[in-house]
Amino acid sequence: MKKCPFCGTITHHNGNYCRSCRRTFDGSKSEDTTAEPPRLDLSKDEWRKPLYAAGLSFVGIGLGQFYNGETAKGVLALAGVLGFPLLLPLWTTIDPFIPVILVWTLAILDAYLSARKINRLQKAFRHKSILFWPGTACLLLIAAFILTAAAAPHVAAKSVSVAAGVVADTKYPAYAVPLYESAILLSPNDTAIRMDKVKVLHYMGRDAEARSDLTIAIATNPNDTSPLMMTGNLLYDNGEYQASINYFEKARELKPKEAAIWMRKGDAQLMIAVAEMKKMREQYKTLTTGSYNAASATAAPANVDAFQSMQSYRDAMTAYNEAIKLDPLMSVEISAHVLASAQTMVEMYNGILTDMGSPNATSTTAA
């Protein structure tokens, strides 16, 4: 290494020439910048292109630093751009967009200035970072994906949806929602992708958003039973059994031979029967005096239909029987549902008799 006596730049080649101030060490004359001394080892890899480095950092964060051989800087810039959107919302209310743009701008400026310093021998350069080519490959993959999205958006949407499904299976399913939204933008008429998003929203308890997407799915593809069934299931889980039956009935009209639809309709009607029996008991509690007589046994309150729950129960059995006809293997699951609900209804019936003081009330035990 030598130090230029004119500008103080440290040289890393064996010639008596300073690349920074373009002068020979003996001071005899300024060197022509267009005809450098042949004794200099000016291999192409020793020179960096500042604008090229800045452009690389613009299209791929940290790539310009990898081009200049500064691996640590490139990794730090990449971590900042990727980390701020994930970490800042957890600790602060700062919009991560501003720090991300700031870090990205600094990375572009740093890549440009570092390349200039390398050319002036103010900074050592040995070779490109080992992450330069992997980073370039990732950039090319992104470019290929953009071209695919433009030429075949449905294929790109499926790819994004698969990635979202992988993220949804982790501990952070919320990060899958933006991916599903991106896939939907690419293929807005793909009901399957929207349904996958609905499942994630329902899992996170965001049923209002899920219902909104289901409404769009039903309007987009009215002949698809999956959004109808999913809407019915959401209503069922929220205790809105009658509303769920309406959607199960619409699905049944589209696919009358689908056993699963008949079973879900039967489940909702069975839950209505149980809810009506519970309501009946609560109303009888407010009217009984604790003594039993024939008049009180037959005089039901005016606002309670004593046979309404039994009608709902019969409707449920009709739906269940239809489901078993279509798919006998469902009989085991249906039997479990019926036994659990029947046990509850018998307990409610005995409770009513007990509240009225009937000697016919019996205790029930689970089979």
The 3-class secondary structure across 293-321, one letter per residue, is CHHHHHCCCCCCCCCHHHHHHHHHHHHHH
Tokens describing residue 351: 């409770």
pLDDT confidence tier of residue 301, bands split at 50, 70 and 90: very low
> For the chain, what is the mean pLDDT?
80
193-206 tens-digit pLDDT: 999 999 999 999 99
Q: Return the minimum-mean-pLDDT range out of 5-14, 77-86, 208-217, 250-259.
A: 5-14
Q: Mean pLDDT over residues 169-178, rounded? A: 88
pLDDT value at residue 358? 55
Name the burial class of residue 56, with classes exposed (0-12), middle (13-18) and buried (19+) by CB atoms within 10 angstroms of its CB: buried
Please state the length of the chain: 367
121-141 tens-digit pLDDT: 788 888 889 999 998 898 888
Q: Return the minimum-mean-pLDDT range out of 182-186, 284-288, 305-309, 360-364.
A: 360-364
pLDDT value at residue 356? 58
pLDDT value at residue 241? 92
Q: Mean pLDDT over residues 69-98, rounded? A: 83
Measured between alpha carbons, how far is residue 184 from residues 5, 111, 141, 147, 211 in Å?
65, 37, 21, 17, 16
Q: Mean pLDDT over residues 325-339, rounded? A: 87
What's the pTM? Answer: 0.57
pLDDT value at residue 86? 75
